[in-house]
Amino acid sequence: MKWVCQELGMKSILLLLLAVCLCLSIGVQAQITDPSEVSALKEIRSNLIDPMKNLSNWDRGDPCSSNWTGIVCYNRTLDDGYMHVQELELLNMNLSGSLSPKLGNLTYLKILLVNGNQLTGPLPEELGYLPNLNRIQIDQNKISGELPKSFANLNKTKHFHMNNNSISGQIPHELSRLPALVHFLLDNNNLSGHLPPEFSELPNLLIIQLDNNHFDGTTIPASYSNMSKLLKIDLSSNQLSGSIPSNKFSDNMTTIILSNNSLTGNIPVNFSRLPFIERLSLADNQLNGSVPGTIWENRTLTNGHKLIFLEGNPLCSRANLNLFCGSNQDGIESEIPKNIPVSCPSQACPPSYEYPPGHPESCVCAAPLIIEYRLKSPGFLRFGPYQNGFEEYLSSGLRLNLSQLDINSVTWQEGPRLKMSLKLFPDNSSHVFNSSEVRRIWRMFTGWQVPDNDTFGPYELLDFILLDPYKKGMSKSLNLLLY
Ligand SMILES: *[C@@H]1O[C@H](CO)[C@@H](O)[C@H](O)[C@H]1NC(C)=O
Ligand SMILES: *[C@@H]1O[C@H](CO)[C@@H](O)[C@H](O)[C@H]1NC(C)=O
Ligand SMILES: *[C@@H]1O[C@H](CO)[C@@H](O)[C@H](O)[C@H]1NC(C)=O
Ligand SMILES: *[C@@H]1O[C@H](CO)[C@@H](O)[C@H](O)[C@H]1NC(C)=O
Ligand SMILES: *[C@@H]1O[C@H](CO)[C@@H](O)[C@H](O)[C@H]1NC(C)=O
Ligand SMILES: *[C@@H]1O[C@H](CO)[C@@H](O)[C@H](O)[C@H]1NC(C)=O
Ligand SMILES: *[C@@H]1O[C@H](CO)[C@@H](O)[C@H](O)[C@H]1NC(C)=O
Ligand SMILES: *[C@@H]1O[C@H](CO)[C@@H](O)[C@H](O)[C@H]1NC(C)=O
Ligand SMILES: *[C@@H]1O[C@H](CO)[C@@H](O)[C@H](O)[C@H]1NC(C)=O
Ligand SMILES: *[C@@H]1O[C@H](CO)[C@@H](O)[C@H](O)[C@H]1NC(C)=O
Ligand SMILES: *[C@@H]1O[C@H](CO)[C@@H](O)[C@H](O)[C@H]1NC(C)=O
Ligand SMILES: *[C@@H]1O[C@H](CO)[C@@H](O)[C@H](O)[C@H]1NC(C)=O
């Protein structure tokens, strides 16, 4: 050491140490995320056109430690000593370009969301080898090509949301092996051929949406009646022909939509034995046979809602079917639940404050957080019967009291999706949420930390509105959280 000092001088030693430190720290930085995932991410980005520059921070530092936009990592290093990418959230960024096969190198990925972009090109086969993938949402893009057979390996995937693309060809029957599949949404694509009868083997399937495709060949496979958990099937606007199978669908069915096909023959007697049905549409087909006398028993109009739609079929020439063959009124409408009336002194709360409807007796003015929220694929068509269950589900999911949540309005949108405007109130005694509570709630929504519920399906956060009492300081730090 002594001769080194003499040789180089103290100043040089310091410089050398500094250089070593820099090298080490750069080395550590670069090793935080698994390097094969870092190189995959770079490749994924190079295949994308990013008009709003949402991914501009993907040049800087390390994906997991430098908060790259749209990348959520596991919250600790795994046994291999690396951080790994858990979620890719590139939704609604107007990205074009294509999905890189290198997505298959993000082997720890659980959630892939690229919906609401302008992506073209095929689905890379490599996506099928992501062993941990729970959810894939590519809806509302311009993806073309066929569904890769490799997707049959996605044995943890619960949600396939691929509607509103240009996916073509047959659905590979191999997908009937998917043990976890809950939602299969491929409506508004260019799929053709027959509906795979093997889908009846999907043990957990709740929702099938394949409307607005080009399915033809035979009619609905008789085996679909064997899906015991099924709630909702929409096969409308295809080219299905033949008669409707007479087997009885699951008792839990709420929605059967077969309209705008070329179905012929009878309406099966079993269609009048579905206790929870909310919408049965057979409109605009070639049905000309018998109609079970019991079909209108108990279910002509419930609270003014039409449940059965038969218009546009030859059998409508029969006089007694007017009720179901009437004008093509849409049964899907907005419902605005009533707020609980408040019996407090009528002196107004200051602006931004109001009486929490959940505590009509307390008369404490409180400032709500306003959340614009949307259920992407609810398993029902009328909110009323599900409102209490939803309030329980969401408030407990957010770890709030039931009385802190107020549903201000609900609106059905295309899809059908259910948009809601929610108000969250601080608990009984306080006027405002404190800032850590606001952040916590924000993170629950943006991080999909409210667990999915099969009935309500996945959700998206549309807006998180901070009224004046929360604006100071808070919106800045929320923006930081938003990368
Ligand atoms: C990405 O995956 C492919 C196919 O599995 C493999 O050949 C390649 O080596 C992987 N790349 C990296 C950087 O790990
Ligand atoms: C993408 O960037 C635009 C323009 O900066 C911004 O308005 C938008 O919120 C960003 N979107 C996302 C999802 O980050
Ligand atoms: C990344 O975000 C976290 C909180 O989300 C924050 O604590 C951290 O400082 C951020 N890191 C960088 C490099 O911006
Ligand atoms: C990390 O994530 C796991 C699972 O998602 C969770 O159980 C754990 O509490 C988290 N740890 C921290 C420190 O946030
Ligand atoms: C999204 O991209 C399309 C075409 O690429 C363009 O016409 C549109 O203006 C873009 N929208 C935004 C918000 O940038
Ligand atoms: C899922 O697939 C992997 C690999 O293909 C296999 O090791 C695993 O046992 C499968 N899990 C289930 C639940 O089938
Ligand atoms: C999907 O496409 C159909 C037909 O173009 C359209 O009516 C519908 O609104 C689209 N759905 C969504 C969720 O964008
Ligand atoms: C749909 O597929 C047909 C061939 O089956 C093709 O001719 C047509 O261009 C496709 N349409 C779209 C919108 O991709
Ligand atoms: C329904 O499942 C049972 C038992 O698995 C089977 O015997 C029957 O053939 C199936 N029905 C149809 C219509 O596929
Ligand atoms: C029908 O729904 C109920 C309530 O969600 C559930 O307990 C039951 O298991 C379902 N029936 C079947 C056959 O899945
Ligand atoms: C109609 O309701 C009555 C009484 O609740 C019941 O006995 C009957 O089975 C129901 N009919 C049908 C077709 O479900
Ligand atoms: C979904 O929420 C409803 C209402 O809170 C609840 O009854 C049901 O058990 C939940 N289902 C699951 C699978 O958690």
Ligand 7 neighbours, Cβ below 6 Å, are: 140, 164, 188, 414-415
Assigned token pair, 215: 């399915």
Identify residue 146 by its one-letter amino acid code: E
Residue 226: Cβ within 10 Å count = 16
CA end-to-end distance (rounded Å), the chain: 47
Torsion of CA 140, 142, 147, 153, to 10 degrees: -60
- Whether 366 contacts 431, CB under 8 Å: yes
> For ligand 5, is residue 94 a contact (CB within 6 Å)?
yes
Ligand 2 within 6 A of CB of 92? yes
* Cα–Cα nearest to 372, from 412, 416, 409: 409
Quick one: the chain helix, strand, coil %, rounded to 5? Answer: 30, 20, 50
Q: Which ligand is nearest to the CA of 152?
A: 6
Rounded distance, CA 71 to CA 90, Å?
8
- pLDDT at site 2: 44
Q: Give 285-341 as a DSSP string.
A: SEE-S---GGGGTT-SEETTEE-EE--SSGGGGSGGGHHHHS----S-----PPPPP
Residues whose CB falls within 8 Å of the CB of residue 195, separated by 6 or more in sequence, listed in order: 171, 210, 215, 220, 221, 235, 240
The pLDDT value recorded for residue 276 is 82
162 contacts 185 by C-beta, under 8 angstroms: yes
Q: What is the CATH number of domain 332-483?
A: 3.30.70.150
Q: Which two tokens stand for residue 171?
A: 């659905």
Residue nearest to atom 10 of ligand 5 (CA): 94
Distance 229 CA to ligand 9 centre (A): 15
The answer to whether the CB of 148 falls within 8 A of the CB of 171 is: no
Query: How far apart are the C-alpha atoms of 45 and 472, rounded to whole Å?
Result: 35
CA 83 from centroid of its chain's CA atoms: 26
**pLDDT confidence of residue 390:** 94
Closest CA to 192 of 160, 212, 211, 168: 168
Q: Rounded distance, CA 278 to CA 307, Å? A: 6
Residue nearest to atom 12 of ligand 6 (CA): 155
| CA pair distance 410, 205, nearest whole angstrom | 26
What's the pLDDT score for residue 475?
57
Q: How far is CA 100 from CA 54, 106, 112, 124, in A?
A: 18, 11, 13, 7
pLDDT score for 5: 40
| pLDDT at residue number 185 | 95
Q: What is the pLDDT of residue 299?
A: 57
pLDDT given at position 12: 57
Burial class (CB in 10 A: 0-12, 13-18, 19+), 26: exposed
**CB of 179 shorter than 6 A to ligand 6:** yes
DSSP code of residue 249 = P
Closest ligand to the CA of 73: 4
Domain with CATH 3.30.70.150 in the chain: 332-483
Residues of the chain with CATH 3.80.10.10: 35-325
pLDDT in tens, the chain (483 residues): 444 444 445 555 555 454 544 444 444 444 499 999 999 999 999 999 999 999 999 999 999 999 899 999 998 888 899 999 999 999 999 999 999 999 999 999 999 999 999 999 999 999 999 999 999 999 999 999 999 999 999 999 999 999 999 999 999 999 999 999 999 999 999 999 999 999 999 999 999 999 999 998 777 899 999 999 999 999 999 999 999 999 989 988 989 999 999 999 999 988 888 888 888 899 999 999 988 877 766 554 444 456 888 889 999 887 677 777 875 444 444 555 545 445 676 667 888 888 888 776 777 889 999 999 999 888 887 788 888 999 999 999 999 999 899 998 888 887 778 999 999 999 877 899 998 899 999 989 887 788 888 889 888 888 898 888 888 756 545 544 432
Mutate to test the pocket of ligand 3, among 64, 67, 482 (most ligand atoms within 8 A of CB): 67
Given this model, what pLDDT does residue 380 score?
A: 81
- 3 state DSSP class of 138: coil
**pLDDT at residue 318, rounded to an integer:** 79
List strand residue ranges (DSSP E) for 131-240, in order.
135-137, 159-161, 168-169, 183-185, 190-193, 207-209, 214-215, 232-234
Question: pLDDT value at position 301?
Answer: 45
Residues 6+ apart with CB under 8 A from 286: 241, 262, 263, 264, 313, 314
Dmax over Cα atoms in the chain, in whole Å? Answer: 111
CATH fold label, 35-325? 3.80.10
The number of the ligand nearest the C-alpha atom of 188 reads: 7
Predicted confidence at residue 13, as pLDDT, reads 52
For ligand 2, whether the C-beta of 52 sits within 6 Å is: yes
DSSP for 179-205 reads SS--EEE--SSEEEEPPPGGGGG-TT-
| Long-range contacts, stretch 78-82, CB < 8 angstroms, 24+ apart | 78/108, 80/34, 81/31, 82/31, 82/32, 82/33, 82/34, 82/35, 82/37
Residues shown for the chain: 483
For the record, the structure tokens of 66 come out as 């430098």
Q: Which atom of ligand 2 is nearest to the CA of 482?
A: 14
